[in-house]
Structure formats: C-alpha cells, structure tokens
Amino acid sequence: MGCDARAVAAAVRAAAAVVTAHRDELVRLDQAIGDGDHGENLKRGFGFVVQALDESTPDTPGAVLKLVATTLISKVGGAAGPLYGTAFLRAATAVGDATELTPELVAKALRAALEGVVARGKAEVGDKTMVDALAPAAEVGSLAAAATAAERGAESTIPLVARKGRASYLGERAIGHQDPGARSTALVLRAFAEAAS
Amino acid sequence: MKKILNDPAAVVAQSLLGLAAAHPDLLRVTTDPAVVSRADGPRPGKVAVVSGGGSGHEPLHGGFVGPGMLDAACPGAVFTSPTPDQIQAAVSRVDGGAGVLLLVKNYTGDVLNFETAAELLAADGVDVRTVLIDDDVAVRDSLYTAGRRGVGATVLVEKVVGAAAEAGADLATCERVARAAVAGARSMGIALTAPTVPHVGEPSFTLADDEMEVGIGIHGEPGRRRERLTDADGVVAALLEPVLADLPFAAGDEVLLFTNSMGGTPLLELYLAHGIAEQSLVDKGITVTRRLVGPYVTSLEMQGMSLTLLRLDDELTRLWDAPVRTAALRWGA
C-alpha cells in the first residue's frame, strides 16, 4: 500500500485516537513522577491536530508532518509541545517533497526526529525521557519494529532515576515508574505502525 | 473534587476574564492567545519585562502586571508552560523598542518554549534577553537533574527588575539586576496537602494526616522526602536551615524574608510561621530589613508554605522599595 499524504494523515488521526484513549493512563504515570499534565496536554494537542487536518489535508507526507509539528508547538506548551513538535518538524524536513513514504524515508524520518529531540531536550538514553523510547526505534528498519523497540525502551525507563525533566527533582523516588513521555512515544509509534500495516 | 468551576477546559480563560473585570484601569487581557498586559503599554523607550508560566500559581504572573513590575505575562494551561506564539504575542503587545527581558522559571517546558520564542523574536529583530530563575534548594543542581526550580524568588526578581525598567534602566542593566537577585535568593517549601488540577479531578498525591512532604515544588510534583508532620517550629527549621546553608547566608547579612502560602494555608498560620522565622534569623545575627508575607506563588489549593531569603544590598533594597501598582502588589504609587 502506498504511503501518501492521505495515508500519513490517517496514521496521525489514529495516533490522536490512541493518545485520547490512553489519556488517563498517561496522567497517572505523570502524577507519579511529574505534575500530571502529560495525558491531558497530548490529548489537547492532538485534538487541535485533527482539527487542523479537518480544515485542510496537505498534499505531501512532509507537509502533513509539518502541520502536526506547528500545531503541537503552538498549542501544547509544557515540555511535550516543543519536543513532540521538534520531532515532527525534523521528520517533515527529512522526507522533503516526496509524494510517498518509502521504508527508507520512514527510517530517515525517525532518525531525524531523534536527533531533533536530543538537540532540543539535551537528554541521552538512560535519562528516563522519551529519548529512551525514540532512540531504539530509530535504529530499526520498519515502523512495526520501531514500535516494538519503543515499547521495550519505554519499559526500560521503569527502574531508572530521572536526569531530565520534572521527574529529575525526585531523585531515587522516580525509580519504579515508567516515564510518561517514553510511554506516549511508544503509543504514537504503535498507532503509526498499525495504520501503515 | 470540589471547585468553583464551569468547564475545566475553560478555567484559565474564564479566570482571566475575571482578572480583567477586576482591574480595568490596570490591565488588558486577551484569552486567545492568553496574554495579560499593561493597559498603558507599550511604553516607548522602556525595556519591556515579560514573564509567564503555567496557571495555578496566582497571583503569579498576571497579578504582577502593572507599573513598576511586569509589562506582560502569558499564562499557560494549569501547571503547563505557555507556548512560543503566546510569548511572542505578549512581547509584541508591550515592546517599546528598548529591548525585552524574559524572566523564566527554570522548568524543562518553560525553558524550551521561551527559548523557541526568544529565537523567533531575535529573528524578527527584537533585542531579547532571558534570565532563568532557579532558587529552590530542594533540588540538587547538577548534571543529573533539570537544575533547580524557580519558585518564591520569582516574585522578588519580577519586582526589582520591574522597578529598574520603570526607572529607565537599559536592557543590560535590567539583565544584571535580574541575575543579581537570582544569585542572592534561595527558597524551600513544604506541603501538608496536595493540589487538585481541575482537568485531572483528583489530588496530585496523597498525604496522611500526620505527614508532610518536604522539598515540594509548585506543581503538585512529589517532594524529595516525606516526614512526620512536626510543630511550626520544626516546619520553619526544616525550611530555613537548608536555605541558610546553601548560599550561604551569614551573620551580618541584610535580607528580605518572604513567607509564602502555597494557597491553602491561611494567614493565621502563615504569620505564626513568619514570626518564628524572623526570630530564628535574629538569633543567627541576620538582619531582616524587608518582608513579604502572603499567598504570592501558589500551587492551587495546596496547604503548605515556602520561605525565600534574598540577600539585599543598597541597590536591591531601593528597587524593592520603589513604587509598584499591580493587582497583587501595590505600594508608593
């Protein structure tokens, strides 16, 4: 199946639905080690993304990704807005004007997204952030494998002490909790993988 | 959850409309994007002082907009930093051509959004500087954390920088004053209860009747440790000792003592704690020459308090005493 702008837009809508369905879970994860706003903020942000896609569906995959990025940056706030926004913006730039996404372009987009998040948030693998999910996802070939890698990566944050973000204030009290940003990253990638299959 | 509330999703916008209604002479308020600005702005030739952050800390920051303090504030969703275009809108409303100073509490989200806004403003030719406020001694400042949080010192920094800007100081001077105030301020807080975020509907954490959370921030995030609740002397000591040891403050220092309620602690208890803190400083040979007592940097309805000490010199004292006319702080004007 071709992965054109419409297919990418459908995948983004699927991700929005998954984020909305998992809002309460993300809120609970964030309450444990942060301030409890992650689920609500992502739900709100992806709600605006769906609204923007309803108003106009751009004609290339890159333009869809860019619309997602600018909407998230301008509507979400918090750390998630700029970080998710940067990930989508770099992915958009990486795929350029291509009318269809090939597996190679998807892999390139994932690597670019990771580089963007690392540059903006200055987190490394092991800091208990979304990078722990995104970094292993960027190393594999397909979206399905990326989603699985991201899920494992998110689970790997459970025993960690946080070194970035609000959870870092807690010291060892963050141990035993999954990072909400890593969890939401895995959820979004799984939604993309299922939409593309 | 029991709150005076219509739609949790509209709580910030509807509260801002009330703020505007209460202070028509002082403020201009828009809700999309959410910006609170001085009614008499922009002031040509004056440095614009702009701050912002998540809502839920009222009167921070919108209650400190007005002559002698902030030119504009951008309130985000509850406990969520504002977005870059909100910050740009706030700046465009008050930029008088003499430069813009952004006062930013040191949280990952706030830093990322203000950083993005500052880049966009600079690209538009605005002379913009940023000063991070990071006074919370409960957080270890190291490579292994996001750095110290900005808490109580925020209101003190906004006051002295606002006074400098009002008196005609240039951007470099305003930035220097802000950095001096940040460098001389330290804070620590405790919670007796947790706040309830309107769109979450349940308390951010739970504490037993005989427990207190020590080293809390202002977002309902858990603190560094949980202890058995002590009497007021014990609470004040638990706050004051780490603050004093950190800078460190020493005998002979002149300080501003800021005793802050987190929202749910009444003034009866707050003044009681303030009195203990003052006496404790006297005993240590530290002279309290200025005070602020009240709910100024809050965390919704959380019961709890924080103590902030700011080491004063002649310049900071003069700037603190300068006239201010805002919704939440007013004197001399």
Gap between the Cα atoms of B293 and B289, Å rounded: 13
Which residues on adjacent β-strands are paired with residue B225? B214
The three-class DSSP label of residue B248 is coil
Where in the sequence is the domain holding B32, given as residue range(s)?
A: 11-183
Looking at the fold, whether B152 and B262 belong to one and the same domain comes out as no
Per-residue pLDDT 10s for chain B (333 aa) are 999 999 999 999 999 999 999 999 999 999 999 999 999 989 999 999 999 999 999 999 999 999 999 999 999 999 999 999 999 999 999 999 999 999 999 998 999 999 989 988 998 899 999 999 999 998 876 666 778 999 999 999 999 999 999 999 999 999 999 999 999 999 999 999 999 999 889 898 889 999 999 999 898 777 778 999 999 999 999 999 999 999 999 999 999 999 999 999 999 999 999 999 999 999 999 999 999 999 999 999 999 999 999 999 999 999 999 999 999 999 997
Q: Say what the pLDDT of residue B143 is.
A: 61
C-beta contacts of B119-125 below 8 A and 24+ residues apart: B120/B84, B120/B88, B121/B88, B121/B91
Decide if B196 touches A, using CB distance below 8 A. no
Task: Check if the beta carbon of residue B158 is closer than 8 Å to that of residue B102.
Answer: no
Chain B partners within 8 Å of A166 (Cβ):
107-108, 146, 217, 219, 221
Looking at the fold, whether B171 and B193 belong to one and the same domain comes out as no
Q: Is residue B331 part of a domain?
A: no
Q: What percent of chain A has pLDDT over 90?
A: 85
User: Of B128, B157, B183, which residue constitutes the final position of a domain?
Assistant: B183
Query: Could you tell me how far CA A121 lies from the centroid of its own chain?
Result: 14
Q: Say what the pLDDT of residue B224 is.
A: 76
What's the DSSP call for residue B98? S
Tens digit of each residue's pLDDT (9 = 90 or more) over A59-100: 999 999 999 999 999 888 889 999 999 999 999 999 999 999
B23 belongs to the catalytic site? no
Q: Is residue B64 part of a domain?
A: yes
What CATH number was assigned to the domain covering residues A5-196? 1.25.40.340
Whether residue A183 has pLDDT greater than 60: yes
Looking at the fold, whether B173 and B260 belong to one and the same domain comes out as no
User: Of B183, B198, B215, which residue constitutes the final position of a domain?
Assistant: B183
Tens digit of each residue's pLDDT (9 = 90 or more) over A18-27: 999 999 999 9
Chain A partners within 8 Å of B86 (Cβ):
77
Task: Check if the beta carbon of residue B242 is closer than 8 Å to that of residue B138.
Answer: yes
Q: What is the DSSP string of B128-152?
A: EEEEEE--BTTS--STTSS-PPP-T
Gap between the Cα atoms of A14 and B27, Å rounded: 43
Which of A20, A37, A71, A73 is best to mutate for the B interface (most B CBs within 10 A)? A37
Q: Is residue B40 part of a domain?
A: yes
In this predicted model, which residue has the larger pLDDT, A196 or A113?
A113
* ipTM of this predicted structure: 0.78
Type of residue at B298: T
Looking at the fold, whether B194 and B266 belong to one and the same domain comes out as yes
What does the domain layout of chain A look like in residue ranges?
Answer: 5-196
Measured in angstroms, the CA of A154 and the nearest CA of chain B are apart by 19
Looking at the fold, whether B258 and B285 belong to one and the same domain comes out as yes
Domains in chain B: how many in total?
A: 2
